[in-house]
Structure 1
Amino acid sequence: MGITDRLFGRCDPDDRERPETDTEVSRKAVSLAQQGRFTEAIGCFDRVLEEDPTNVKMWNNKGVFLDLLGRDQDALACWEKALEIDPEFAPAWVSRGMLHRRRNRFEEALACYDRAVELNPDSAVAWYNRSGIFVAMRQLDEAVACYERVLSIDPHFVAAWIDLGYVHFLRHQHEEAIACYDRAISEDPGNVRVWSLKGGALYALGEYRKALECFDQVLSLDPRYSAGWSMKCSALYHLGMYRHALACADKALEINPDCELTSQVRKMLVSLIEKW
Protein backbone atom coordinates (compact mmCIF):
# COMPACT_ATOMS: atom_id res chain seq x y z
CA MET A 1 0.00 0.00 0.00
CA GLY A 2 1.44 3.37 -1.05
CA ILE A 3 1.90 6.37 1.20
CA THR A 4 -1.00 8.29 -0.37
CA ASP A 5 -3.38 5.44 0.49
CA ARG A 6 -2.63 6.04 4.16
CA LEU A 7 -3.21 9.81 4.12
CA PHE A 8 -6.51 11.49 4.71
CA GLY A 9 -7.41 14.94 3.46
CA ARG A 10 -10.48 17.05 4.11
CA CYS A 11 -12.56 18.44 1.29
CA ASP A 12 -15.32 20.15 3.23
CA PRO A 13 -16.65 23.43 1.81
CA ASP A 14 -15.18 25.25 4.83
CA ASP A 15 -11.71 24.39 3.57
CA ARG A 16 -12.07 27.02 0.86
CA GLU A 17 -11.68 29.69 3.51
CA ARG A 18 -8.17 28.45 4.32
CA PRO A 19 -5.08 29.07 2.16
CA GLU A 20 -4.57 25.33 1.79
CA THR A 21 -6.90 22.40 2.29
CA ASP A 22 -5.78 19.37 4.23
CA THR A 23 -5.61 17.48 0.94
CA GLU A 24 -3.27 20.06 -0.57
CA VAL A 25 -1.06 19.99 2.51
CA SER A 26 -0.86 16.20 2.34
CA ARG A 27 0.03 16.27 -1.36
CA LYS A 28 2.78 18.80 -0.69
CA ALA A 29 4.12 16.62 2.12
CA VAL A 30 4.17 13.57 -0.16
CA SER A 31 6.08 15.54 -2.80
CA LEU A 32 8.67 16.60 -0.22
CA ALA A 33 8.98 13.05 1.11
CA GLN A 34 9.58 11.74 -2.41
CA GLN A 35 12.53 14.12 -2.55
CA GLY A 36 13.83 12.75 0.75
CA ARG A 37 12.86 15.96 2.58
CA PHE A 38 10.99 14.27 5.43
CA THR A 39 11.65 16.98 8.01
CA GLU A 40 10.01 19.56 5.75
CA ALA A 41 7.18 17.13 4.98
CA ILE A 42 6.40 16.68 8.68
CA GLY A 43 6.65 20.46 9.07
CA CYS A 44 3.69 20.79 6.69
CA PHE A 45 1.49 18.95 9.18
CA ASP A 46 2.95 20.80 12.17
CA ARG A 47 1.98 24.16 10.65
CA VAL A 48 -1.62 23.03 10.23
CA LEU A 49 -1.70 21.60 13.74
CA GLU A 50 -0.43 24.86 15.24
CA GLU A 51 -3.56 26.55 13.91
CA ASP A 52 -5.89 23.57 14.29
CA PRO A 53 -4.64 21.25 17.08
CA THR A 54 -7.82 19.15 16.91
CA ASN A 55 -7.32 18.19 13.25
CA VAL A 56 -7.33 14.40 13.55
CA LYS A 57 -6.52 13.87 9.89
CA MET A 58 -3.30 15.83 10.17
CA TRP A 59 -2.35 14.00 13.37
CA ASN A 60 -2.87 10.75 11.50
CA ASN A 61 -0.83 11.89 8.51
CA LYS A 62 2.01 13.14 10.66
CA GLY A 63 2.06 9.74 12.35
CA VAL A 64 2.26 8.03 8.96
CA PHE A 65 5.39 10.00 8.04
CA LEU A 66 7.00 9.37 11.42
CA ASP A 67 6.22 5.68 10.94
CA LEU A 68 8.01 5.75 7.57
CA LEU A 69 11.07 7.13 9.38
CA GLY A 70 10.95 4.25 11.87
CA ARG A 71 10.03 6.53 14.77
CA ASP A 72 7.49 4.12 16.23
CA GLN A 73 6.83 5.82 19.53
CA ASP A 74 6.43 9.27 17.96
CA ALA A 75 4.07 7.82 15.34
CA LEU A 76 2.01 6.02 17.98
CA ALA A 77 1.82 9.24 20.01
CA CYS A 78 0.30 11.03 17.00
CA TRP A 79 -2.34 8.35 16.55
CA GLU A 80 -3.07 8.35 20.27
CA LYS A 81 -3.59 12.11 20.02
CA ALA A 82 -5.96 11.67 17.08
CA LEU A 83 -7.95 9.04 18.98
CA GLU A 84 -8.00 11.17 22.11
CA ILE A 85 -9.68 13.86 20.04
CA ASP A 86 -11.95 11.44 18.17
CA PRO A 87 -12.01 7.83 19.45
CA GLU A 88 -14.08 6.85 16.42
CA PHE A 89 -11.57 8.05 13.82
CA ALA A 90 -11.06 4.73 12.02
CA PRO A 91 -8.01 5.72 9.89
CA ALA A 92 -5.87 6.12 13.03
CA TRP A 93 -6.78 2.56 14.03
CA VAL A 94 -5.72 1.36 10.57
CA SER A 95 -2.42 3.24 10.82
CA ARG A 96 -1.68 1.74 14.23
CA GLY A 97 -2.50 -1.70 12.91
CA MET A 98 -0.08 -1.30 10.01
CA LEU A 99 2.78 -0.41 12.34
CA HIS A 100 2.07 -3.42 14.56
CA ARG A 101 1.82 -5.67 11.48
CA ARG A 102 5.27 -4.68 10.27
CA ARG A 103 6.66 -5.50 13.70
CA ASN A 104 4.95 -8.92 13.55
CA ARG A 105 2.70 -8.05 16.47
CA PHE A 106 -0.26 -9.78 14.89
CA GLU A 107 -2.67 -9.78 17.81
CA GLU A 108 -2.18 -6.06 18.41
CA ALA A 109 -2.61 -5.35 14.69
CA LEU A 110 -5.76 -7.45 14.47
CA ALA A 111 -7.28 -5.64 17.44
CA CYS A 112 -6.69 -2.33 15.66
CA TYR A 113 -8.26 -3.54 12.42
CA ASP A 114 -11.20 -5.07 14.30
CA ARG A 115 -11.87 -1.68 15.81
CA ALA A 116 -11.50 0.04 12.43
CA VAL A 117 -14.05 -2.21 10.69
CA GLU A 118 -16.37 -1.92 13.67
CA LEU A 119 -16.30 1.85 13.25
CA ASN A 120 -16.39 1.80 9.46
CA PRO A 121 -17.67 -1.54 8.12
CA ASP A 122 -17.51 -0.23 4.55
CA SER A 123 -13.79 0.55 4.64
CA ALA A 124 -12.15 -1.60 1.96
CA VAL A 125 -8.72 -0.50 3.22
CA ALA A 126 -9.42 -1.67 6.77
CA TRP A 127 -10.78 -5.04 5.61
CA TYR A 128 -7.83 -5.47 3.24
CA ASN A 129 -5.29 -4.92 5.99
CA ARG A 130 -7.23 -7.24 8.29
CA SER A 131 -7.00 -9.91 5.58
CA GLY A 132 -3.21 -9.67 5.57
CA ILE A 133 -3.03 -10.49 9.27
CA PHE A 134 -4.92 -13.74 8.71
CA VAL A 135 -2.58 -14.64 5.84
CA ALA A 136 0.43 -14.02 8.07
CA MET A 137 -1.14 -16.20 10.76
CA ARG A 138 -2.00 -18.85 8.13
CA GLN A 139 -5.69 -18.61 9.00
CA LEU A 140 -6.58 -18.83 5.33
CA ASP A 141 -10.35 -19.33 5.61
CA GLU A 142 -10.60 -16.09 7.56
CA ALA A 143 -8.34 -14.35 5.04
CA VAL A 144 -10.54 -15.42 2.11
CA ALA A 145 -13.65 -14.15 3.89
CA CYS A 146 -11.99 -10.76 4.45
CA TYR A 147 -10.76 -10.43 0.87
CA GLU A 148 -14.23 -11.28 -0.38
CA ARG A 149 -15.61 -8.56 1.88
CA VAL A 150 -13.08 -6.09 0.43
CA LEU A 151 -14.12 -6.96 -3.11
CA SER A 152 -17.82 -6.72 -2.30
CA ILE A 153 -17.13 -3.13 -1.23
CA ASP A 154 -14.71 -2.31 -4.06
CA PRO A 155 -14.64 -4.76 -6.99
CA HIS A 156 -11.77 -2.78 -8.54
CA PHE A 157 -9.38 -3.26 -5.60
CA VAL A 158 -6.48 -4.78 -7.56
CA ALA A 159 -4.30 -5.70 -4.57
CA ALA A 160 -7.18 -7.63 -3.02
CA TRP A 161 -7.68 -9.68 -6.21
CA ILE A 162 -3.96 -10.44 -6.28
CA ASP A 163 -3.77 -11.42 -2.63
CA LEU A 164 -6.95 -13.48 -2.78
CA GLY A 165 -5.39 -15.30 -5.70
CA TYR A 166 -2.26 -15.93 -3.66
CA VAL A 167 -4.30 -17.38 -0.80
CA HIS A 168 -5.97 -19.76 -3.27
CA PHE A 169 -2.48 -20.67 -4.52
CA LEU A 170 -1.36 -21.45 -0.96
CA ARG A 171 -4.38 -23.75 -0.68
CA HIS A 172 -3.35 -25.45 -3.96
CA GLN A 173 -6.47 -24.08 -5.65
CA HIS A 174 -4.57 -23.04 -8.73
CA GLU A 175 -7.51 -22.55 -11.09
CA GLU A 176 -9.19 -20.24 -8.59
CA ALA A 177 -5.92 -18.36 -8.16
CA ILE A 178 -5.59 -17.85 -11.91
CA ALA A 179 -9.15 -16.52 -12.11
CA CYS A 180 -8.28 -13.90 -9.47
CA TYR A 181 -5.06 -12.98 -11.26
CA ASP A 182 -6.94 -12.59 -14.54
CA ARG A 183 -9.37 -10.22 -12.85
CA ALA A 184 -6.44 -8.20 -11.47
CA ILE A 185 -4.82 -8.10 -14.92
CA SER A 186 -8.05 -6.79 -16.45
CA GLU A 187 -7.86 -3.90 -13.98
CA ASP A 188 -4.08 -3.36 -14.13
CA PRO A 189 -2.46 -5.03 -17.17
CA GLY A 190 0.94 -3.48 -16.41
CA ASN A 191 1.28 -5.08 -12.98
CA VAL A 192 4.49 -7.14 -12.95
CA ARG A 193 3.64 -8.96 -9.72
CA VAL A 194 0.33 -10.34 -10.92
CA TRP A 195 1.81 -11.61 -14.20
CA SER A 196 4.55 -13.33 -12.17
CA LEU A 197 2.02 -14.94 -9.85
CA LYS A 198 -0.18 -16.08 -12.72
CA GLY A 199 2.87 -17.62 -14.36
CA GLY A 200 3.71 -19.37 -11.10
CA ALA A 201 0.21 -20.83 -10.82
CA LEU A 202 0.32 -22.10 -14.41
CA TYR A 203 3.78 -23.54 -13.73
CA ALA A 204 2.40 -25.39 -10.70
CA LEU A 205 -0.28 -26.88 -12.97
CA GLY A 206 2.38 -28.06 -15.43
CA GLU A 207 1.18 -25.56 -18.04
CA TYR A 208 4.72 -24.56 -18.91
CA ARG A 209 4.04 -22.92 -22.28
CA LYS A 210 1.29 -20.75 -20.82
CA ALA A 211 3.53 -19.97 -17.85
CA LEU A 212 6.27 -18.97 -20.29
CA GLU A 213 3.89 -16.49 -21.94
CA CYS A 214 3.32 -14.87 -18.54
CA PHE A 215 7.03 -14.66 -17.79
CA ASP A 216 7.65 -13.13 -21.21
CA GLN A 217 5.02 -10.53 -20.35
CA VAL A 218 6.77 -9.87 -17.03
CA LEU A 219 10.06 -9.25 -18.82
CA SER A 220 8.46 -7.03 -21.45
CA LEU A 221 7.24 -4.84 -18.56
CA ASP A 222 10.50 -5.01 -16.59
CA PRO A 223 13.54 -6.43 -18.43
CA ARG A 224 15.67 -5.96 -15.30
CA TYR A 225 13.47 -8.17 -13.13
CA SER A 226 15.89 -10.96 -12.25
CA ALA A 227 13.21 -13.25 -10.82
CA GLY A 228 11.40 -13.04 -14.15
CA TRP A 229 14.45 -14.40 -15.95
CA SER A 230 14.80 -17.15 -13.33
CA MET A 231 11.15 -18.15 -13.71
CA LYS A 232 11.47 -18.16 -17.50
CA CYS A 233 14.57 -20.33 -17.13
CA SER A 234 12.58 -22.88 -15.11
CA ALA A 235 9.74 -23.00 -17.64
CA LEU A 236 12.18 -23.49 -20.53
CA TYR A 237 13.94 -26.25 -18.61
CA HIS A 238 10.69 -28.18 -18.27
CA LEU A 239 10.08 -27.71 -22.00
CA GLY A 240 13.48 -29.28 -22.69
CA MET A 241 14.90 -26.03 -24.10
CA TYR A 242 18.11 -26.19 -22.10
CA ARG A 243 20.24 -23.73 -24.06
CA HIS A 244 17.52 -21.10 -23.97
CA ALA A 245 17.08 -21.80 -20.27
CA LEU A 246 20.82 -21.35 -19.72
CA ALA A 247 20.71 -17.98 -21.46
CA CYS A 248 17.92 -16.89 -19.11
CA ALA A 249 19.87 -18.11 -16.07
CA ASP A 250 22.87 -16.08 -17.25
CA LYS A 251 20.67 -13.00 -17.64
CA ALA A 252 19.19 -13.47 -14.16
CA LEU A 253 22.67 -13.80 -12.63
CA GLU A 254 23.91 -10.78 -14.54
CA ILE A 255 21.21 -8.75 -12.77
CA ASN A 256 21.40 -10.55 -9.42
CA PRO A 257 24.66 -12.52 -9.09
CA ASP A 258 23.86 -13.49 -5.48
CA CYS A 259 20.90 -15.76 -6.30
CA GLU A 260 22.12 -19.15 -5.11
CA LEU A 261 19.14 -21.07 -6.49
CA THR A 262 19.67 -19.72 -10.01
CA SER A 263 23.38 -20.51 -9.73
CA GLN A 264 22.54 -24.10 -8.89
CA VAL A 265 20.09 -24.36 -11.79
CA ARG A 266 22.74 -22.96 -14.13
CA LYS A 267 25.25 -25.63 -13.08
CA MET A 268 22.64 -28.32 -13.71
CA LEU A 269 21.89 -26.90 -17.16
CA VAL A 270 25.57 -26.77 -18.09
CA SER A 271 25.91 -30.40 -17.02
CA LEU A 272 22.88 -31.43 -19.11
CA ILE A 273 24.12 -29.58 -22.17
CA GLU A 274 27.61 -31.08 -21.89
CA LYS A 275 26.14 -34.61 -21.88
CA TRP A 276 24.46 -34.03 -25.23
Structure 2
Amino acid sequence: MTGVSITERLFGRADPGDRRGPETDAAVSRKAVSLAQQGHLGEAIACFDRVLAEDPANVKMWNNKGVFLDLLGRDQDALACWEMALSIDPEFAPAWVSRGMLHRRRNRFDEALACYDRALEINPDSAVAWYNRSGIFVAQRLLDEAVACYERVLALDPHFVAAWTDLGYARFLQHRHEEAVACYDRAIADDPGSVRVWSLKGGALYALGEYRKSLECFDRVLSLDPKYAAGWSMKCSVLYHLGMYRHALACADKALEINPSCELTTQVRKMLVGLIEKW
Protein backbone atom coordinates (compact mmCIF):
# COMPACT_ATOMS: atom_id res chain seq x y z
CA MET A 1 0.00 0.00 0.00
CA THR A 2 1.09 3.63 -0.62
CA GLY A 3 -0.05 4.70 2.81
CA VAL A 4 -1.47 8.01 4.07
CA SER A 5 0.66 11.15 4.30
CA ILE A 6 1.37 12.99 7.55
CA THR A 7 -0.99 15.81 6.61
CA GLU A 8 -3.83 13.37 6.01
CA ARG A 9 -3.36 12.10 9.58
CA LEU A 10 -3.48 15.60 11.10
CA PHE A 11 -6.60 17.44 12.06
CA GLY A 12 -7.49 21.02 12.80
CA ARG A 13 -6.75 22.33 9.32
CA ALA A 14 -9.74 24.63 8.88
CA ASP A 15 -12.57 23.56 11.14
CA PRO A 16 -15.06 26.19 12.32
CA GLY A 17 -14.21 25.35 15.93
CA ASP A 18 -10.51 26.11 15.55
CA ARG A 19 -8.91 28.68 17.82
CA ARG A 20 -8.50 32.09 16.20
CA GLY A 21 -5.46 34.26 15.73
CA PRO A 22 -1.98 33.58 14.31
CA GLU A 23 -1.64 30.32 16.27
CA THR A 24 -4.72 28.54 14.95
CA ASP A 25 -4.82 24.75 15.01
CA ALA A 26 -4.31 24.78 11.25
CA ALA A 27 -1.29 27.07 11.44
CA VAL A 28 0.29 25.01 14.23
CA SER A 29 -0.20 21.80 12.25
CA ARG A 30 1.33 23.30 9.10
CA LYS A 31 4.33 24.55 11.08
CA ALA A 32 4.80 21.12 12.67
CA VAL A 33 4.69 19.39 9.28
CA SER A 34 7.27 21.82 7.92
CA LEU A 35 9.58 21.16 10.87
CA ALA A 36 9.11 17.39 10.50
CA GLN A 37 9.98 17.54 6.81
CA GLN A 38 13.24 19.25 7.82
CA GLY A 39 13.93 16.44 10.26
CA HIS A 40 13.07 18.46 13.38
CA LEU A 41 10.51 16.13 14.93
CA GLY A 42 11.26 17.27 18.46
CA GLU A 43 10.52 20.87 17.56
CA ALA A 44 7.36 19.75 15.75
CA ILE A 45 6.09 18.06 18.92
CA ALA A 46 6.93 21.20 20.92
CA CYS A 47 4.47 23.11 18.71
CA PHE A 48 1.64 20.92 19.98
CA ASP A 49 2.89 21.10 23.57
CA ARG A 50 2.66 24.89 23.51
CA VAL A 51 -0.96 24.73 22.39
CA LEU A 52 -1.85 22.04 24.91
CA ALA A 53 -0.33 24.05 27.76
CA GLU A 54 -2.96 26.71 27.07
CA ASP A 55 -5.75 24.43 25.81
CA PRO A 56 -5.39 20.99 27.45
CA ALA A 57 -8.76 19.82 26.12
CA ASN A 58 -7.78 20.28 22.46
CA VAL A 59 -8.34 16.77 21.10
CA LYS A 60 -6.99 17.67 17.67
CA MET A 61 -3.63 18.67 19.09
CA TRP A 62 -3.49 15.55 21.30
CA ASN A 63 -4.08 13.47 18.18
CA ASN A 64 -1.47 15.33 16.19
CA LYS A 65 1.13 15.09 18.93
CA GLY A 66 0.48 11.35 19.01
CA VAL A 67 1.05 11.11 15.26
CA PHE A 68 4.51 12.67 15.57
CA LEU A 69 5.43 10.52 18.56
CA ASP A 70 4.36 7.54 16.48
CA LEU A 71 6.75 8.65 13.73
CA LEU A 72 9.54 8.62 16.33
CA GLY A 73 8.66 5.05 17.28
CA ARG A 74 7.53 6.09 20.77
CA ASP A 75 4.54 3.77 20.81
CA GLN A 76 3.51 4.13 24.43
CA ASP A 77 3.76 7.92 24.39
CA ALA A 78 1.73 8.07 21.17
CA LEU A 79 -0.93 5.75 22.57
CA ALA A 80 -1.10 7.90 25.72
CA CYS A 81 -1.85 10.96 23.58
CA TRP A 82 -4.70 9.21 21.79
CA GLU A 83 -6.02 7.88 25.09
CA MET A 84 -6.06 11.46 26.36
CA ALA A 85 -7.91 12.64 23.25
CA LEU A 86 -10.49 9.88 23.63
CA SER A 87 -10.92 10.51 27.35
CA ILE A 88 -11.90 14.08 26.42
CA ASP A 89 -14.04 13.07 23.44
CA PRO A 90 -14.70 9.33 22.97
CA GLU A 91 -16.35 10.14 19.63
CA PHE A 92 -13.24 11.72 18.11
CA ALA A 93 -12.83 9.31 15.20
CA PRO A 94 -9.35 10.50 14.05
CA ALA A 95 -7.76 9.26 17.28
CA TRP A 96 -9.24 5.81 16.66
CA VAL A 97 -7.75 5.85 13.15
CA SER A 98 -4.35 6.89 14.47
CA ARG A 99 -4.38 4.09 17.04
CA GLY A 100 -5.33 1.64 14.34
CA MET A 101 -2.41 2.70 12.14
CA LEU A 102 0.08 2.09 14.94
CA HIS A 103 -1.36 -1.37 15.64
CA ARG A 104 -1.34 -2.19 11.92
CA ARG A 105 2.36 -1.43 11.58
CA ARG A 106 3.05 -3.72 14.52
CA ASN A 107 1.01 -6.49 12.81
CA ARG A 108 -1.61 -6.41 15.55
CA PHE A 109 -4.37 -6.86 13.03
CA ASP A 110 -7.29 -7.54 15.38
CA GLU A 111 -6.55 -4.45 17.45
CA ALA A 112 -6.14 -2.32 14.34
CA LEU A 113 -9.39 -3.55 12.80
CA ALA A 114 -11.27 -2.86 16.03
CA CYS A 115 -9.96 0.74 15.99
CA TYR A 116 -10.99 1.32 12.37
CA ASP A 117 -14.39 -0.21 12.95
CA ARG A 118 -14.92 2.08 15.93
CA ALA A 119 -13.92 5.09 13.81
CA LEU A 120 -16.42 4.03 11.15
CA GLU A 121 -19.20 3.59 13.70
CA ILE A 122 -18.64 7.24 14.58
CA ASN A 123 -18.12 8.44 11.00
CA PRO A 124 -19.20 5.96 8.31
CA ASP A 125 -18.12 8.42 5.62
CA SER A 126 -14.45 8.60 6.61
CA ALA A 127 -12.51 7.76 3.45
CA VAL A 128 -9.27 7.64 5.46
CA ALA A 129 -10.71 5.07 7.88
CA TRP A 130 -12.02 2.88 5.05
CA TYR A 131 -8.67 3.14 3.28
CA ASN A 132 -6.70 2.10 6.33
CA ARG A 133 -9.15 -0.71 7.03
CA SER A 134 -8.30 -2.12 3.59
CA GLY A 135 -4.67 -2.49 4.65
CA ILE A 136 -5.59 -5.11 7.24
CA PHE A 137 -7.15 -7.30 4.57
CA VAL A 138 -4.27 -6.80 2.12
CA ALA A 139 -1.81 -7.92 4.79
CA GLN A 140 -3.91 -11.05 5.31
CA ARG A 141 -4.32 -11.57 1.56
CA LEU A 142 -8.09 -11.21 1.90
CA LEU A 143 -8.27 -9.38 -1.41
CA ASP A 144 -12.04 -9.40 -1.90
CA GLU A 145 -12.50 -7.69 1.46
CA ALA A 146 -9.77 -5.19 0.63
CA VAL A 147 -11.36 -4.39 -2.73
CA ALA A 148 -14.70 -3.75 -1.03
CA CYS A 149 -12.99 -1.18 1.21
CA TYR A 150 -11.24 0.54 -1.71
CA GLU A 151 -14.52 0.76 -3.58
CA ARG A 152 -16.13 2.36 -0.53
CA VAL A 153 -13.26 4.86 -0.33
CA LEU A 154 -13.63 5.81 -3.98
CA ALA A 155 -17.39 6.17 -3.71
CA LEU A 156 -16.71 8.76 -1.02
CA ASP A 157 -13.70 10.38 -2.71
CA PRO A 158 -13.17 9.59 -6.42
CA HIS A 159 -9.83 11.45 -6.34
CA PHE A 160 -8.23 9.38 -3.57
CA VAL A 161 -5.08 8.49 -5.52
CA ALA A 162 -3.71 5.96 -3.02
CA ALA A 163 -6.98 4.02 -3.13
CA TRP A 164 -6.96 3.83 -6.94
CA THR A 165 -3.32 2.70 -6.82
CA ASP A 166 -3.90 0.03 -4.21
CA LEU A 167 -7.12 -1.14 -5.83
CA GLY A 168 -5.09 -1.57 -9.01
CA TYR A 169 -2.50 -3.63 -7.18
CA ALA A 170 -5.21 -5.79 -5.59
CA ARG A 171 -6.67 -6.42 -9.05
CA PHE A 172 -3.16 -7.27 -10.29
CA LEU A 173 -2.76 -9.83 -7.51
CA GLN A 174 -6.11 -11.28 -8.57
CA HIS A 175 -4.71 -11.59 -12.13
CA ARG A 176 -7.26 -9.05 -13.38
CA HIS A 177 -4.61 -7.09 -15.18
CA GLU A 178 -6.80 -5.00 -17.47
CA GLU A 179 -8.78 -3.76 -14.48
CA ALA A 180 -5.50 -2.99 -12.74
CA VAL A 181 -4.40 -0.83 -15.68
CA ALA A 182 -7.71 1.05 -15.59
CA CYS A 183 -7.20 1.80 -11.89
CA TYR A 184 -3.67 3.03 -12.47
CA ASP A 185 -4.94 5.30 -15.23
CA ARG A 186 -7.39 6.86 -12.76
CA ALA A 187 -4.55 7.41 -10.28
CA ILE A 188 -2.32 8.93 -12.98
CA ALA A 189 -5.09 11.34 -14.01
CA ASP A 190 -4.78 12.96 -10.57
CA ASP A 191 -1.07 12.35 -9.97
CA PRO A 192 0.79 12.15 -13.30
CA GLY A 193 4.17 12.44 -11.61
CA SER A 194 3.96 9.29 -9.49
CA VAL A 195 6.89 6.98 -10.20
CA ARG A 196 5.20 4.16 -8.32
CA VAL A 197 1.95 4.30 -10.28
CA TRP A 198 3.68 4.45 -13.67
CA SER A 199 5.86 1.52 -12.61
CA LEU A 200 2.87 -0.54 -11.48
CA LYS A 201 1.04 0.24 -14.71
CA GLY A 202 4.10 -0.86 -16.67
CA GLY A 203 4.16 -4.12 -14.71
CA ALA A 204 0.49 -4.81 -15.41
CA LEU A 205 0.95 -4.15 -19.14
CA TYR A 206 4.01 -6.40 -19.09
CA ALA A 207 1.89 -9.18 -17.56
CA LEU A 208 -0.63 -8.66 -20.39
CA GLY A 209 2.13 -9.01 -23.00
CA GLU A 210 1.67 -5.37 -24.05
CA TYR A 211 5.40 -4.83 -24.22
CA ARG A 212 5.45 -1.64 -26.28
CA LYS A 213 2.96 0.05 -23.97
CA SER A 214 4.85 -1.28 -20.97
CA LEU A 215 8.07 0.19 -22.37
CA GLU A 216 6.38 3.60 -22.63
CA CYS A 217 5.51 3.39 -18.93
CA PHE A 218 9.05 2.56 -17.86
CA ASP A 219 10.42 5.31 -20.07
CA ARG A 220 8.09 7.66 -18.20
CA VAL A 221 9.27 6.23 -14.87
CA LEU A 222 12.89 6.86 -15.75
CA SER A 223 12.21 10.35 -17.03
CA LEU A 224 10.75 11.08 -13.59
CA ASP A 225 13.50 9.31 -11.64
CA PRO A 226 16.62 8.32 -13.65
CA LYS A 227 18.13 6.69 -10.54
CA TYR A 228 15.26 4.26 -10.00
CA ALA A 229 17.07 0.93 -10.31
CA ALA A 230 13.91 -1.17 -10.49
CA GLY A 231 12.73 0.92 -13.43
CA TRP A 232 15.91 0.12 -15.37
CA SER A 233 15.55 -3.57 -14.46
CA MET A 234 11.96 -3.71 -15.68
CA LYS A 235 12.85 -1.83 -18.86
CA CYS A 236 15.58 -4.43 -19.37
CA SER A 237 12.98 -7.22 -19.11
CA VAL A 238 10.64 -5.52 -21.57
CA LEU A 239 13.42 -4.99 -24.11
CA TYR A 240 14.45 -8.63 -23.74
CA HIS A 241 10.93 -9.74 -24.68
CA LEU A 242 11.06 -7.39 -27.67
CA GLY A 243 14.30 -9.08 -28.78
CA MET A 244 16.33 -5.91 -28.25
CA TYR A 245 19.13 -7.64 -26.37
CA ARG A 246 21.85 -5.00 -26.61
CA HIS A 247 19.50 -2.27 -25.41
CA ALA A 248 18.34 -4.60 -22.65
CA LEU A 249 21.96 -5.19 -21.62
CA ALA A 250 22.56 -1.44 -21.41
CA CYS A 251 19.56 -1.14 -19.07
CA ALA A 252 20.82 -4.01 -16.93
CA ASP A 253 24.19 -2.27 -16.64
CA LYS A 254 22.47 0.95 -15.61
CA ALA A 255 20.38 -0.87 -12.99
CA LEU A 256 23.46 -2.56 -11.54
CA GLU A 257 25.36 0.71 -11.52
CA ILE A 258 22.66 2.06 -9.21
CA ASN A 259 22.06 -1.16 -7.25
CA PRO A 260 24.98 -3.60 -7.65
CA SER A 261 23.47 -6.09 -5.17
CA CYS A 262 20.42 -7.04 -7.28
CA GLU A 263 20.94 -10.75 -7.93
CA LEU A 264 18.06 -11.06 -10.38
CA THR A 265 19.39 -8.30 -12.62
CA THR A 266 22.86 -9.84 -12.39
CA GLN A 267 21.48 -13.17 -13.61
CA VAL A 268 19.55 -11.49 -16.43
CA ARG A 269 22.70 -9.65 -17.48
CA LYS A 270 24.65 -12.93 -17.73
CA MET A 271 21.89 -14.42 -19.85
CA LEU A 272 21.89 -11.40 -22.16
CA VAL A 273 25.66 -11.53 -22.55
CA GLY A 274 25.35 -15.20 -23.52
CA LEU A 275 22.65 -14.46 -26.08
CA ILE A 276 24.62 -11.60 -27.65
CA GLU A 277 27.81 -13.69 -27.86
CA LYS A 278 25.94 -16.37 -29.84
CA TRP A 279 25.07 -13.88 -32.56
TM-score, normalization by structure 1: 0.97
Percent identical among aligned pairs is 85
Q: 1 CA distance for matches of 2:24 and 2:91?
A: 22
Q: Given residue 218 of structure 2, which amino acid in structure 1 is its aligned partner?
A: F
- State how 1:24-173 maps to structure 2 within 5 Å: 24-173=27-176
Distance 1:230 1:121, change over 3 A: same
Contact 2:236 2:247 in 1 (8 A): yes
| Contiguous gaps of at least 5 residues in structure 2 | none
Q: 1 CA distance for matches of 2:16 and 2:183?
A: 40
The equivalent of 1:231 in structure 2 is: 234
Tell me how many residue pairs correspond in the alignment. 276
- State how 1:172-187 maps to structure 2 within 5 Å: 172-187=175-190
CA apart distance, 1:16: 5.8
TM-score, normalization by structure 2: 0.96
Distance 1:247 1:132, change over 3 A: same
Q: Given residue 9 of structure 2, which amino acid in structure 1 is its aligned partner?
A: R
RMSD across aligned positions (CA): 1.2
Bigger drift between 35-44 and 230-239 goes to 35-44
| Contiguous gaps of at least 5 residues in structure 1 | none
Q: Given residue 90 of structure 1, which amino acid in structure 2 is its aligned partner?
A: A
Distance 1:50 1:104, change over 3 A: same
Task: Name the SS of the counterpart of 2:275 in structure 1.
Answer: helix
* Counterpart selection for 2:197 from 186, 194, 198: 194
Give deviations 1:110-135, integer Å, cap 9, x for gaps.
Answer: 11111111111111111000011111
The equivalent of 1:247 in structure 2 is: 250
Give deviations 1:215-263, integer Å, cap 9, x for gaps.
Answer: 1111111111110000000000011111000000000011111111111
CA apart distance, 1:105: 1.1
Task: Name the SS of the counterpart of 2:29 in structure 1.
Answer: helix
Q: Given residue 51 of structure 1, which amino acid in structure 2 is its aligned partner?
A: E
Q: 2 CA distance for matches of 1:27 and 1:162?
A: 26
